[in-house]
Structure formats: C-alpha cells, structure tokens
Structure 1
Amino acid sequence: MLSILQPLLLFSALYLNVEALPQITRTGRYLFDTSGNRFYIKGVAYQPPGVVIQSADNPFGTPSTFTDPLADTAGCQRDLPFLKQLGVNTIRSYAVNSSLNHDGCMNLFSQNNIYVILDLELPLNGSINPLAPAWSTNLLDEYITTMEVFSKYDNVLAFNVGNEVVQSSTTGIAPFIKSAARDVKAYLASTGAKTLVGYGSIDMATDVKSALANFLSCDPTGQNDGSTSIDLFGLNNYEWCGASTFEDSYAGVTNAFANYNVVAYFAEFGCITKPPRLWTETEALFGSQMTTVWSGGLAFSYFPSVSNDGQFGLVNISADGSTVTTGSDFNTLQTEYAKVSFINTPTQAAAPAAAFPSCAAPTSDFVAANVLPGTPSESACDCVKSALSCEFTPATTNTSAIIGSLTDLACQFLGQASLNCNDISSNGTTGVFGVMAQCDPSVKLSYVMSLYYESQNRNAMACSFAGNGTVNAAVTASASSVASSCIASPSSVFTPSAVSTPSQVTQPPNTNTGSGGSSGGSGSGSKSGAETQAVYGVGMMVVISLVSAAWTFA
C-alpha cells in the first residue's frame, strides 16, 4: 500500500495547490502580504549560466544558450531542500522557455512558500538590443506569451522587463524599458493580475543609477500617473566586500534612494573580490539602517557562474545533474540568513501611497528623452507587411543570422541613393521614433528592401538581396504610403492583448533535456565594481555592423 501512496503523495505535493500563496502587493515604496505586514525579498538568484561565445560581435558577453531552470522538475526537486536550508522566500530566474511545462517547479516552490521573480527577456534576439534599441512587436509578443504561461501560478511575485540593459554609456535606451513596463503593466491589469513589474539595474555612478531609477518611476505627463512606472527597482549591487561596514559600503546608496517612490531592493548581491564571502551584509540589508529604504535582496548565485573576478555559486551540481554539493559560501549564507528577523515597519495601513513626480529633463550624464515609443501594434505591422512591394523571403531558416547584415546592406544602398532608414530607426535620446520602428526586424527589413527596390524603378534585381527578396508584383503603392496608411499614429498607446499565435522571437538554444540536469555551461561577467558585466540580461537581438548613421542609435 505504501508503494502506491508514495506516487500519489508526490503528485499532490507537486500539482495540487490546495491553499494559494498570499499575493504580495506594493503600497507606496514597500511590499506587503495579505495580512498587511511588510514583505522582504530574502532570496537567491536561480539560473544556470548559458554558454558565452566571446567575439567582436558579442561585446556585451551575452549567452548564446540558456537552461530554463523552472522547466526542470527533477532539478527543482533536487534543489528544494537546499533552498529551504538557506531559508529563502524568493528566487529569481533570468530566462525561461515559454513553450515548456513549468507546473512541477512552480507548484513545488509555491507549496514551500517560495516566490519567483521572473525576467521576461531572453538572451540574443529576445531582449532590447543596446546597439539598435527598439520596443517592437516581437518583444511585446514574447513578453506577453511568457506572462500568459505563468499567469496560472500564485507565486510569481514580479516580472522584470529587463536586466542591466541600460549602462552608463547607453542611458538613451531607458525610454524603451519604460515603454515595456507601461505595456506590460497595462496587459497585466487587463487580465486582473496583480503581479508586479520590475527592472534589474547594473550598478553605476550614483548620479546615473539614481537618474535611471527616477526615470523608470516618474510620470512623463506630469499628472501623478503611475501607468508608466515600474513597481520594483532592483539594483545589482556588489559594494560590500569582505568584512565591510554599512558606512563603508551601503550608506551612500541608501542615502541616494532615501526618497525613492516605489520599491527598491538588491536584485543581486554578494561580492567575490575578497573571499571568502562572509555575507555579513545581510545584517545591514535587513536591519534598521536600511529597511526604511530597501525591501531585501537576492544573493548571487545558487548555481556556479564564472566571472572576471572569480567564481560565483553556492553549490556545485554533479555531471549527471543528480547531486548537489554545497560550499563554504552556502554554509555561511545559511548562517547569516538564519539571523534575519523582518522589521514590520511600516504596516500597510500606515504606508503612504506612492506619488509619481514629473520626469526630470535630460542631462549630460543621463540623456534619455521624456518621450516614449508607442505600443507596438501587430495588426498595423501585419498591414504593412502584406502590402510591401519587395518581401523578405529568406533563403535560410536561420533568419536571425542574416536580418542584421541585410538591413545594414539595404540602408547602405538607400544612402547611396540619397535616401535613408529613418523610418525604421529609434532614438531614445531625441525622442524620435520612426513610423516602422515598432515592427519586428523582418518587417523592417522588407520595408527598407521595398524602399530600395522602388528607388531603382522597381527593377527586380534590386529586390533580390542575394536571393532573399521576392517582388510582390500586385503592389503598386509605395512603401512609405503603405506605412503611413497602416500606421497612422505610431505614438499611440493602448492596452495590448493576448498573443493569438506563438511569439515570433526565435529563442536561443535551450539546454533542458528533461533528464533533471540543471547545470549549464560557463557564463561570463564580473559582478563587482566597475567591471560588472551582464551575465543574462543585455540582449543582442541582432548584432549589426552599422555604417548608415540613419540606422544607428546615437
């Protein structure tokens, strides 16, 4: 009888979520549970690193593969006892495959009171490209598809719309992140979901990171409207190294965020430049000097992760994926996390509501404009696509490998014809977004191919592009007139709807095999000080060797 009951009990633990996990909500700058008590994120990053191919075409060290840890039920079962030993209430996963089944892991974690902060972006072409930023239909579709898949789970605390995309030299990308937050919030609200929306930021100079945080939580209309604001600002902070102190490490950043209007927390922490990691920062992070400003943090990282400064990781996974071996970092963090006692001040009833101030004017250090791209419209872009004179018909199934180079080539040809690619360009510094900027890269390519084809008196050879273009002989209207007709108001903002077809974003290879092995390949990226690089977040949608200034983000 026992042998029969054991599988049934396991099934019940994994799949029958009898009592829902309490919803975590935001009031003002704090998180609260359903009892009105402060909720603190006491967690760990939970993402095996992907394989990074170092090359000139990958300056940000973006992984070319990823392992979806939340689709590996056996791996989650293996790791749960160790997560419980750490005493975490939250994990953060940076990349998931929406086509896989996540019931096993998500329900297992829910039954054990573990929330999940989930990044919506994917490596490579599934995130805002820092070299050619845009907020486009393919990304919105991908984000919505992931939210739809995870909407049935009660332990999704927040969706992140980006991780370390904006850096000190690329602050003009911020309007695209803010637009993503706006549209993700609108979609969630339309479904009745109360899931929070966040962003994970690289640590930068104080004035830059403060400007970014304020930009992501301000109101461009000046009407105290939070519809474009994030709910959580996550700072990836590695300032506390070794036996440091609050005054030497966290006092400055805490003072900088003292008047922040929404939730702030440490999306990553755990410096490795002065080993061993003592994790004494947890006493400060959850202590009275910081809890008026911060709502906890996530230790980096459960899985091994290689960086320029050394090896992150609290555990090692055996080659067959079946066994966990803890290290000294794990044991020390377990000890320090066990000392944490949450300070229940203020209560939800006493917490003031958030105010959303007007956005500050751009500065020389933070150049983002206060004008945001509109909501990408799939139907409008489909309208354009169906009426273009020269259509991108790739000669290969690996379209991601050629769209960038062909777009660059088409823009060069247009430049030689005294034309430009302004219609597909986006500039977050000037706040100017081309009429076609919201469409996915393949539609943009068809558009500029059509512009060139038409400029050459519709010579069929001008549509070839090495056999990757096909003339649509039935079309007589110009590409620009088609775009103006189909996308009459490119800056329109509306509530996006559910995706009727699978996302058009090509996901990078996913190394999940279903065998329970969760250990990924070696990652790359320092996580301390000025050498910090993004391990998961900075996406290279298409790496383009740009020549045409009209197509280059400035």
Structure 2
Amino acid sequence: MIASYSRLLTAICALASSAAAVTPLKVQGKDFVNTKTGARFQILGVDYQPGGSSGFSKTQDPLSDGDICLRDAALMQRLGINTIRVYNLEPTLDHNMCVSIFNAAGIYLILDVNSPLTNGYLDRTAPWTTYTNAYYNQVFGVIEAFKSFDNVLGFFAGNEVINEEATRLAPAYVRAVIRDMKDYIAKQSDRAIPVGYSAADIRDILMDTAHYFECELANSTSSRADFFGLNSYSWCGDATYTSSGYDVLTEDFSNATIPVFFSEYGCNDVKPRVFTEVQALYGVEMTQAFSGGLVYEWTQEANEYGLVQANDNGTITTLIDYDNLQKQFNKLDMSRISSSNSSQTSVTPETCSASLINNSTFYNAWNLPDAPSKVSDYIKNGLPNKPTGSLVSVTATTLSEKVYDYTGKELTDIEFKVLANDESNTPSSSNSSSSSSTSSSSSSTATHSNAASSLNGAPAMALGGLSGFFMLLASLL
C-alpha cells in the first residue's frame, strides 16, 4: 500500500505541473472541426490589439502581459468569446502566460505573422522588395513561438495586402508566403496548423481573391490557403440580411471549399452598435457558407470600435457595445451551430485556371516566386535561434483591476474560470450585466486533466473533476 500511495502522490504531482489544453482544431472541407469529437467549430470572436499600433513594439505586444490577458480573458469568457485574432506579434517575447490564460479560458487564437516593423511585412506595391530572408525571421519566428500551443487555430499570412494600391503580382507573393509557411509547419511542427488570408471587402475583386487562394495548384499543393477571412463592414445599424448585402455574400461563398469567416465585422457608422448581424451570421442560411466571425475590436481606441475601455486609472469599463453584443450572442442556438454536416466536410477544390478570374485587373496566373535563398534551409532545419513556447499553469481567478459597466456600476463578481476537459468557451443566457458566470461547450467530451498554479507562482491544483481523480486513484491502488 505504501508503494501504491507513493505512485499516487507521484501521479498527482505530475498532474499538478501540467496544464489543461483545449482540443486542437483542423480544417475539413469548408469547416473547422474538433479533432477529437468531430463537432463543427464556429468562431465567436473578437479582434484583439490593446493599445492599437502604439501598443506594439519590440518590447511589448498583446500577448506579453499576463495581468492584462487575465483581465481580458475573464471579460471575454463572460461575453461568450471563443476566439481572438491578434494582428502584431514580436516572436522573441515571452507569450507563455498569456497564451496559457486564453487556453485555460477555452479561447482559440488566430495570429497574423506580419508586423508593421522593418522586415515584418510584404509591401503590397512592390512585394518582391520585402519578400526576403529577413522577412522570414518574422514569419517563421511567429510560427516557432506559437506552434506548440493547441489553442492556436491558425495563422494569417497576410491582411488586406490585395487592394486598389497593390501591384498586379501581389496575389502570387501572398500565395507564396502561404506555401512557405505550410511547408515550414509540415517539417517543423508536431501538428498541422492551418494558414489563411484575410481579405478586404472589395466586391469587384473579392471572389477573384477567394478563388485565387482556394484553388488546387498541381505543382504547388501546399500554396492553397486553408481558410479565408473577410473584413466586412457592410451591415450598419439595424440593417437587414438583404440591405447589408449579406445575402449576396452568402450566395457568393456558398460553394467555397475552405472555411470562410468574417475576420473583421461591426460597422460603427451608427452608434451604439446593436449587432443585429449576429443573428444573420449564425443563422441557418449563413452558417452553410460561413464559419462565424470576429468583431472589431476589443479595446476602445481612437476609431471608437471598442467593446471595453481601458481607463488611465487602471480600471476597465465594459461599454454598451459589449452588453449589446452579449445579448445577441446569448440568443444563439449553439447546438445547431456546432452540428457537423457531411456536405460541408466533403467538398473538393477546383483546379486553378484563368477561367476562375473574372476581373481583368486581377492576376490570373499562378507563377509563384521562388522562396528567398535561405528559406529552404529554414524549412529543412528550422529557423536559427528560434523562439519557443509552452503552456504554463494558470489558476489565478480574481482580477486586480476594478471593472465597471457603461452606466458606472461596479461589477464586483468578475472571475476568471479555468475550464476543464478540453472545453471551449461559449455564450450562455445566464450571463448578464451583473453576472460573471462563464460557460463551456457541451460538445467537448475529451478528458485532459486540469492543473495549475497562480500568476505569482503560488501552488494550486485542479484535477479536472472528481471523476478523473477517482479514475486515477482506482488505477493506482
């Protein structure tokens, strides 16, 4: 018995040093799919760039401050968010705590690999001048820094690179970046991580852009995008499915062969935003064409798209847009939204051909540029001096900041909840402006254990439910 108790103690200690993880997602046809349950995953997301462009530098980015991430993740849990998009990242910074916090909250990440700093982006007017070895220190650096986290849903190879200012050859360079990223992931990552593109809603070339990235290219199969994001602000105020043009978008993307979602939405021409488009986006018609979307954006910046306001005195305010979005999320039928559909997952791509392109100004060939000289070596052997990332334990549940709603009322019961058993966050009608309750997906059935310690290093432990503990106990005694 002493030996058995010793084994039990050893196993419990091992659990205590581990961290629960959400289930990785994969692309199957035009859906994101849970790799364990097979359930369809719909993005209920928000774009996350606290501080705007000034909040990013070589020494700080949105995922480098654990205290801010804990605060925001708790408020996102309450809202019903299951995915965030982060635009600007510095791969050399320590992101472990922030990513672990969002992971514990049941929130996935879609990460842009570009940054506005030198050697961090493709110049849309002359992409050949920035498609360099130095550029891939940023691109592959982001992949290395985040590839080990199961809650990384995917990477964006570019954001609105193709627009009226772009050179005609821009699509070929973006598709080449997708190729290089997917080749790198295939060689250097333990799992396939999807790579896609985020497009501007320029209707004259929108479908040409989509077709360019989703078609199958025989001599470069890895250059095909895994998903397609759309930055669209056509639904303003209390518009309708038809007046907003959502009906046209639904028809246009009904035959897509990869997941398509709104990588930005939430027009603020009419304030406050009422987010009635949520019921359309997650309604029966649109969920056959779209995999959800990300509201622009989390914190209030100069452009006034924020859901929350980070105040100078260290407090935070949930704005009326936050409450309005929460009310819309809480109306959703998550069981229907997450139901799998074989017609969605069994689609096959078209072969790339000039006939897919209708606008005469859009590039209609797939002559992709060769990768820069060192990229093939990076793909084969890994990026030199590469950053690394790994999950750390998280059980901090209380916020140090005071939180107020848009009326000035203090919200005293905001609490971060560490989800267990591979759960992802989801809206709940029990959430209200005075409640901090969180929720988890009923479709999650996997059984990772959940153990953690607080942000300041104080030890704590959670065993992922009594059933998991007793199963462990029974196996050891």
TM-score (norm 2): 0.71
Q: 1:367 to 1:163 in 2, by over 3 A?
A: same
User: Which of 158, 163, 180 lines up with 2:159 in the alignment?
Assistant: 163
Conservation of the 8 A alpha-carbon contact between 2:233 and 2:267: yes
Distance 1:237 1:161, change over 3 A: same
Instruction: Tell me the equivalent position of 2:82.
Output: 89
Taking a change above 3 Å as real, the CA distance of residues 164 and 252 of structure 1, as seen in their structure-2 partners, is: same
Q: Is the 8 A contact 2:144 2:386 kept in 1?
A: no
For 1:113-512, list aligned pairs within 5 A.
Answer: 113-125=106-118, 126-134=120-128, 135-170=131-166, 171-190=168-187, 191-205=189-203, 207-221=204-218, 226-249=221-244, 250-307=246-303, 311-320=304-313, 322-342=314-334, 343-347=337-341, 351-360=345-354, 363-367=359-363, 369-378=365-374, 495=379, 497-501=381-385
Whole-Å separation in 1 of the counterparts to 2:117 and 2:70: 29
What root-mean-square deviation, in Å, do the aligned CA atoms of Structure 1 and Structure 2 show? 2.7
Choose 1 or 2 for highest CA Rg.
Answer: 1
Task: For residue 355 of structure 1, report the CA deviation from its aligned partner.
Answer: 2.0
- Candidates 38, 41, 50, aligned match of 1:48: 50
Q: 1:25 to 1:257 in 2, by over 3 A?
A: same
Structure-2 separation of matches of 1:76 and 1:494: 32
Question: How far apart, CA to CA, are the structure 2 residues paired with 1:102 and 1:31?
Answer: 25
- Indicate the larger mover: 115-124 or 169-178: 169-178
**Contact in 2 for aligned 1:50/1:65 (Cα 8 Å):** no
Aligned partner of residue 364 in structure 1, secondary structure: coil
Q: Offset of 1:65 from its aligned partner? A: 8.4
Q: Percent identity?
A: 32
Aligned with 1:159: secondary structure? strand
In 1, Cα distance between equivalents of 2:51 and 2:20: 33
Counterpart CA distance in 2 for 1:292 and 1:210 is 17
Please name the residue that 1:19 is paired with: 20
**What is the rounded CA distance, in whole Å, between the counterparts of 1:67 and 1:211 in structure 2?**
37
SS at match of 2:175: helix
Give the partner amino acid of 1:89. N
- Listed one character per residue, the Cα deviations across residues 76-95 of structure 1 (whole Å, up to 9, x for unaligned) are 11212211111110011001
Partner of residue 102, structure 1: 95
Q: Deviations over 1:392-422 (max 9, x none)?
A: xxxxxxxxxxxxxxxxxxxxxxxxxxxxxxx
Cα deviation digits, residues 367-404 of structure 1 (max 9, x gap) = 3532001122228xxxxxxxxxxxxxxxxxxxxxxxxx
Give the Å deviation of 1:232.
1.2
Between the aligned partners of 1:132 and 1:42, the Cα distance in structure 2 is: 35
Q: What is the distance in 1 between the residues matched to 2:132 and 2:352?
A: 26
Aligned residue type for 2:180: D
Deviations 1:99-144 (A, max 9, x none): 1111111111111110000100001421001232122211222211
Partners of 2:158 and 2:276 lie apart in 1 by: 28
Shift in alpha-carbon separation, 1:350–1:40, aligned structure 2, 3 A:
closer
Q: Among 55, 73, 90, which residue is 1:80 paired with? A: 73
Kept in 2: contact 1:264–1:293 (CA 8 A): yes
What SS does structure 2 have at the residue aligned with 1:200?
Answer: strand
Structure 1 residues not aligned, in runs of 5+: 1-11, 53-62, 380-491, 504-515, 518-554
Alpha-carbon distance, 1:219 to partner? 2.8
| Contact 2:65/2:98, CA 8 A, preserved across alignment | yes
Q: Is the 8 A contact 2:42 2:338 kept in 1?
A: no
One-letter amino acid of the counterpart of residue 117, structure 1:
I
How many residues align? The count is 364
Q: Which amino acid aligns with 2:183?
A: A
SS at match of 2:286: coil
Residues 112, 203 of structure 1: alpha-carbon distance in 2 compared, 3 angstrom cutoff:
same
